[in-house]
Amino acid sequence: MDLDEPQHPWPVGRRSADGTKVGVVTVNWNTAGLLARLVYGLRRVVAPGTITEIVVVDNASTDGSVDLARALAAAGVVHLIENPVQRYHGPGLTQGVNHLARCADRVDLVWALDTDVFVLRPDVLDVAVGALDDSGAVLAADPEDYTPGPAALTAGPLALCSTLFDPAMVWRPRYRPFLEDGEPSRHLVADLHGDGRPVLAFPFCADRYLLHLGRATLAQVRARADATNRYGDWAAGHHEPHYAGLPDGAALAAGFEEAFRAAVPDDRPETLVATLGC
């Protein structure tokens, strides 16, 4: 089966006159609890008014993720794409961006996020969008090794967990989309580098705008002993969270969890929907 979906090029247009609008795409496989926390962060932590669309692509989860995502979709919080089979991370992201391309009038920038990301700071998009604009870059993401430092144009590889980009410039036929690969964004970033498009290393994690737990899906692959998953062997030795190398990562996760549980006291989908004010 060919897992990679063709790219639907983004309509070329201008940024919204009333401020930058961001569409979020995330891909889920059996991480219902993390999906709930990501959506909570996007709707209750990020400064309101910037995120206009959230697309959740589910790769045939069996842990209650689909029920959660359906409830969020019914409440108008997310758009849900349900895959009947495991299509993996890269192809799922491409599906989600293609979906946003169909409502491009409501989206200026696309933010691809892993489900195991906790949003820690409400100004994350204000600062990241400003850095993207100031630098003239078309895409911003953490450096691959999460090295601390100021935002800077780079020719090096970037991490995928938080990738903000201008789809009118990036989601074009000359650049490969997110593909089925252990590093789904590497071909896209390499194509941008090769074409001379400026790319920004932005410290989403090092400056604690976000906390990336890391390896959450691999942990599920290992826990379920999923022999059909092509990353099963890799998951055997790469399933512990890495917290993007932050020494206080576990403490940051615990702090976020405390705030989340104070707002969302149980795991029922309707509780999260009610908390989000839907």
Class of domain 22-207: alpha beta
Burial 232-263 (b: 16+ CB within 10 A, else e): eeebeeebebebbebeebeebbeebeebbeee
**What distance in Å separates the CA atoms of residue 226 and residue 111, rounded to the nearest whole number?**
29
The amino acid sitting at 97 is V
Structure tokens at 233: 């062997």
Q: Quick one: which H or E segment has residue 218?
A: helix 216-223
Cβ neighbours, 10 Å, residue 183 = 16
- The HSE-up count of residue 33 (CA atoms within 13 Å, CB side) is 10
Domain boundaries, the chain: 22-207
> Has residue 2 got a pLDDT over 70?
no
Contacts of 6 (CB under 8 A, 6+ apart): none
The angle, 0 to 180 degrees and rounded to 10, between the axes of the packed helices 32-40 and 65-74 is 30
Do 7 and 243 meet the contact criterion of CB atoms below 8 Å apart?
A: no
Of how many residues is the chain composed? 278
pTM tops 0.85: yes
pLDDT in tens, 167-199: 999 999 999 999 988 899 999 999 999 999 999
pLDDT in tens, 259-274: 999 999 999 999 999 9
pLDDT score for 263: 98
Contacts of 108 (CB under 8 A, 6+ apart): 15, 16, 20, 21, 22, 166
pLDDT score for 225: 77
Kindly list the distances between the CA atom of residue 65 and the CA atoms of 62, 135, 265, in Å, as whole numbers in the listed order. Answer: 7, 38, 18
Nearest to 124 by CA among 169, 161, 87: 161
Confidence of residue 112 (pLDDT cuts 50, 70, 90): very high
**What distance in Å separates the CA atoms of residue 167 and residue 10, rounded to the nearest whole number?**
6
